[in-house]
Amino acid sequence: MKIKIYFFILIFSICLVSCDEDTKNYQLLFIGEVTDIDETGAMLNGSFINNTSKEIKEYGFVWGIRENLTSKITLRNPIKQGVFNYRITGNLYPESKYTVKAFVVINDSVYYSTAATFYSIGSSTVEISDFEPKTVFAGDTIIIYGRNFALNNLENIVSLNNQNLITISADTGFLKVFIPYDILSTKGKLTIEVSGKEVNSHDSLNIKDTWIKTTEDILLNSTANRVGLNGFYANNNLYLRYTESYPGFYEFNLNTRSIKKKTDYPKYGSSFMFTINDKGYLLFPSQRSLLEYNPVSDSWSEKSKFPSTNFANSYSMNLVIGDNAYIGLAYDQFSAEFSNVIWKYDSNKDKWSRMADFPGKTPRYATCFTYNNKAYVGLGSYYDPGLTYNNDIWEYDPVTNEWKIFTTFPGQTGNYFNSINFNNKLYAGKKDFWEYNFQTKKWKQIGDFTGNGFGKTLNVPFVANNSLYFASLITNQNNDEVTSFSLIKLNRNE
């Protein structure tokens, strides 16, 4: 059945003033009757009345229920006069009153006709013909192809197993859809609802976990209270220890997935570890003591004393370039401030040297990493005079012994960020993680970290067998009891 509803032709005048000619009255548009109204949609009709010397950039229609004009179609072949029309085939609710206007853009100004109304019988059901890609990560986008999609993003309700996705661009024949970072489903058919009508995709969308747990929880031999975790990786073994004053040093083999107790270090107290040439180093800054661990002989030996008498733990900078370790931005136990002093440890000469001071505002609990034989330090916080979170990342060149600003972190900043360089990309975050591409110099947010979200004090990142892992401490809700850790792998081979 077809219904025709006729309207009076509505004409409006637009007065344009030219700087070099007399004011003229331009009658530009009228909206015609809405025709061919049936169960599959409705035809919108409009016309240009007079020629105009002004360039028409685009024209089309806007419409919506009552006077809420949420849908818009722009016709892409601008002309100066003539009849134009557009058939709506989707997103019309039956037995609903719609308002429609024609519009034209001239010299970056938008002009509308007066309004016409019509009652809809309905429209064609939305159809999905295909979508791509079929396998994605959280944070990626997909393109859905089909027919009769709504032109307004919000009127296309796209979901996967009852969890809504986010439409970021819409046309009648395609949708661009964002996969949220908190997506729970890993596989399912897409559902699209438009004007109360639903349709499912033929194929399933597969969502790969950005972070995957590669082992069952790995039990440590005893329960520790209020501790962190640090360690190093060497020769396919991960060496882990509790921080603070709690004993316990373990070797975890990635091939056999077995763990065994190793020789305890002979000193206790606030400390942290780094590795140079497959040997581990354990620094007790307040005791000025540096110990070297040899995994082959399972033994510890004392190295040259740390030169500073002021530094306690809470080092923001702790990284290795070649045969040298760089330590600094630590808490000064006498001034009760964080120091901008940087020290280098030369493992070949067993010697400490002071390097160029950090030039910026000294960050507390910053993150650090290396790339292409340079050091990078940033984020954290400082007082100025109130607590301020820092989003700068600085670059240090050990050859020139100079610092410079490198980039700005785009996400939410904070203390204790994990960070590591892997495959020419930086990965940084606590719970929400970001990826920085050194070639394109662009940031991209990736899926939420599924390990311990407290940060670097409870996670040890390392690269093994061309994969990025985090040994992540398993704690209770208050982070004050721990018996085990899990191994979390970055699953992002694109």
* Residue among 174, 7, 21, 11 at smallest CA distance from 99: 7
Give the per-residue pLDDT at 452. 73
Contact 317, 368 (CB under 8 A): yes
Contact 411, 429 (CB under 8 A): yes
CA distance 3 to 285: 86
Q: How many residues does the chain have?
A: 494
454: pLDDT strictly greater than 70: no
Give per-residue pLDDT as tens, 128-140. Answer: 999 999 999 888 8
CA distance 489 to 494: 15
Distance of CA 322 to the CA centre of its chain: 31
CA distance 190 to 200: 6
Strands 166-170 and 392-397: unpaired
Give per-residue pLDDT as tens, 12-46. Answer: 232 323 333 332 334 577 888 999 999 889 999 98
- Low-confidence winner among 51-55, 104-108, 132-136, 201-205 (lowest mean pLDDT): 51-55
314: number of CA atoms within 13 Å, CB side? 19
| Residues 188, 164, 452: CA angle, nearest 5 degrees | 85
What residues are paired with 331 via a beta bridge?
Answer: 338
Q: Would the pTM of this model clear 0.75, i.e. be above it?
A: no
37: number of CA atoms within 13 Å, CB side? 22
Residue with tokens 């429609």: 100
- Low-confidence winner among 47-51, 313-317, 434-438 (lowest mean pLDDT): 313-317
CA distance 356 to 328: 11
Could you give phi then psi for residue 285, rounded to 5 degrees? -65, -40
Residue 219 contacts by C-beta under 8 Å, 6 or more apart in sequence? 259, 483, 484
Residue 297 contacts by C-beta under 8 Å, 6 or more apart in sequence? none
CA distance 126 to 148: 5
Contact 41, 123 (CB under 8 A): yes
What average pLDDT does the segment 344-355 reach? Answer: 96
What average pLDDT does the segment 218-246 reach? Answer: 72
* Residue among 364, 425, 374 at smallest CA distance from 396: 374
- Name the pLDDT band for 443 (thresholds 50, 70, 90): very high
Token pair for residue 351?
A: 């010697």
Better-scored residue on pLDDT, 312 or 120: 120
482: pLDDT strictly greater than 70: no
Contact 152, 125 (CB under 8 A): no
Give the per-residue pLDDT at 95. 86
Contact 185, 207 (CB under 8 A): yes
Token pair for residue 261?
A: 């107790």
Residue with tokens 């399933």: 204
What average pLDDT does the segment 348-367 reach? Answer: 92
Give the per-residue pLDDT at 361. 86
Give per-residue pLDDT as tens, 235-245. Answer: 889 998 876 55
Give per-residue pLDDT as tens, 390-404. Answer: 899 999 999 999 999
Strands 10-16 and 211-213: unpaired
- Low-confidence winner among 104-118, 177-191, 460-474, 476-490 (lowest mean pLDDT): 476-490
81: pLDDT strictly greater than 70: no
What residues are paired with 15 via a beta bridge?
Answer: 25
406: pLDDT strictly greater than 50: yes
